[in-house]
Amino acid sequence: MQIHQKTDTDQIIWTLVRLAILSGFFIWLFRPELINIVSIVSMSSERIHALVAPVAIALIIYCRRDSFAKSLTKGSWCGIGLMVLGIAIYAGAAWPFNYGQIRDIAMIPTLAGVILVAGGWRVLKLSLPILILLLLAIPISTRIYAALVIRPETYTIKAVAMTLEMLPGIDIVLKGVDVIFSSDKQSGAVALGESFRGVRLLMSMAMIGVFVLFSQSRSIWRILIVGVMAIPVILFCNFLRFLCWGLIVIYTPVSYASPLPRNISALCCLFAVYALFAFISSVNLNLFVEVDEDENSDGGSSHD
């Protein structure tokens, strides 16, 4: 038993050594991109979720530390191929092409290769949420945001305008993406100019969903179902954000130009996202119960 425990300890130590060396190479290679990401997100409150990503990653590793320790192997040299692929993408995006977004994304396959070399295939599988969180933390340009989300965002604003119009004594006029309201007491705008402001909260919502889902061992079926429901949940919570914003502006003396309604509605939205993802990830349905119990029993045995 002592020999077996010593072997496991030595394997963990050598894995950490390999991971430290390769992580140092990763940070050195992508240091301009990492510095640029920190610089971008530190100047925008809407991108602040990128700075929270390392904390979320550390918490996931801590919550699933037993599974990581149990899955360690001597690593796989196939990871070298992933690292080479990531470096090739990085080099191609630097010259002859110059695409900063692609250079940022090149970090994902490179880091996947680092994990695969250090810990093996099972550790790479467990590290999938880490890679997703890193991908969500990469700032996306305004042009790409416009192409991806401005249309559903416009539909959300229209839905909020229709909902607010049902309130007694409130007249609503939709001008572009601005919801103009008037009542006996006051008039103003809800979500003034909200075509890009707050849109990046969608990434924060997705990051919360990934963290909640992967903070514990889940069955593959539950992961797939939550993945399918993720977009509707995020869009619904974004609708709640606009609606909460409108109710605060209409029924409180706070000025519609004040940042307070926007901040309060954003916090309420993030709490709603966490609650919904926590419910979907933990609710006991017949489809999930048997497999989840097997997963939990495996996790429990590792604690023993």
The string of DSSP letters for 221-285 reads HHHHHHHHHHHHHHHHHHHHHHHHHHHHHHHSSS-TTSHHHHHHHHHHHHHHHHHHHHHHHH---
CA 160 – CA 163 distance, rounded (Å): 5
Per DSSP, the three-state class of 119 is helix
Most confident of 32-36, 47-51, 291-295: 32-36
Q: How confident is the model at residue 112 (pLDDT cuts 50, 70, 90)?
A: very high
Report pLDDT for 3.
Answer: 43
AA letter at 226: V
Q: For 137-188, write each residue's pLDDT tens digit.
A: 888 776 777 677 777 777 888 888 889 888 888 888 887 777 888 877 777 7
Long-range contacts of residues 24-27, Cβ cutoff 8 Å, at least 24 apart: 25/114, 26/107, 26/110, 26/111, 26/114
Per DSSP, the three-state class of 10 is helix
- The H-assigned helical ranges of the chain are 2-29, 31-42, 49-63, 65-71, 78-94, 100-105, 107-119, 121-126, 128-137, 142-165, 201-214, 220-251, 259-282, 286-303
Domain boundaries, the chain: 2-139, 143-303
Average confidence (pLDDT) over 70-78: 84
Report pLDDT for 132.
Answer: 92
Q: For 200-257, write each residue's pLDDT tens digit.
A: 678 888 999 999 999 888 888 888 888 899 989 998 998 998 889 888 888 888 877 7
Task: Write the DSSP symbol of residue 45.
Answer: G
pLDDT reading at 304 higher than 50: no
Report pLDDT for 303.
Answer: 45
Q: Write out the two tokens for 51.
A: 């700075």
Report pLDDT for 4.
Answer: 46
The pTM of the full predicted model, rounded to 2 decimals, is 0.78
> For residues 246 and 164, is the Cβ–Cβ distance under 8 A?
yes
Q: For 280-290, write each residue's pLDDT tens digit.
A: 988 775 554 54
